[in-house]
Amino acid sequence: MANLNIVLLEPEIPSNTGNIGRTCVATGTRLHLIEPLGFRLTEKNLRRAGMDYWKDLDVTTYINYEDFLEKNPGAKIYMATTKGPQVYTDVSYGPDCYIMFGKESAGIPEEILLENQERAVRIPMIGDIRSLNLANSVAIVLYEALRQNNFDHMRLDGHLTKYDWK
């Protein structure tokens, strides 16, 4: 079974993290938050964006990046960054991999990227756009990882409420 992990390194905007938490609940993905956070986990905007799903979220917080690495030894971590040398669809995401995203204002520090360049990936964009919204970026890369793992454990069929599909 796929046990994917999303890692947010020092997220700053509570509504982004709330939306990402909701996406994690919908996909059975664990969320890892590396401090410092730009908000409190009890903040109203975080809970509002996560709706009533936040209580079902599998979330772990870490005091810093080193604490995260120490508590997840051997984790295969992909670094999602606008500076990545390869496109996010060009790598193979294993069923238990970690996908890390940096804070909204600065991304993942270049020292960390340099140490992980073979797993640094980017979402293609045109022109001089700095970056996509963090929650959107997480959804794009996460769903590619889920697709590569055949949407393991996910519901693949939809149902109408009043009618049957023909």
Residue 20 exposure: Cα atoms within 13 Å on the Cβ side: 29
- Largest CA-CA distance found in the chain, in angstroms, rounded: 55
Report how far residue 71's alpha carbon sits from residue 68's, in angstroms, rounded to the nearest whole number. Answer: 5
Domain annotation for the chain: domains and CATH numbers:
5-148 (3.40.1280.10)
pLDDT for res 1: 65
> Tens-of-pLDDT digits for all 166 residues of the chain?
679 999 999 999 998 999 999 999 999 999 999 999 988 877 676 666 656 777 889 999 999 999 999 999 999 999 999 999 999 999 999 999 999 999 999 999 999 999 999 999 999 999 888 889 999 999 999 999 999 999 988 888 888 889 888 7
Specify the pLDDT at position 42. 75
The predicted structure's pLDDT at residue 11: 96
Q: Could you tell me the pTM of the whole model?
A: 0.92
**What's residue 52's pLDDT?**
72
For the chain, how are helix, strand and coil distributed in percent, rounded to 5? 35, 15, 45
Strand residues in the chain grouped as ranges (E): 5-9, 30-34, 59-62, 77-80, 86-87, 98-101, 120-122
| Residue 123 labelled as part of a binding site | yes
Say whether 131 counts as a known binding-site residue.
Answer: yes
- pLDDT the model gives residue 48: 66
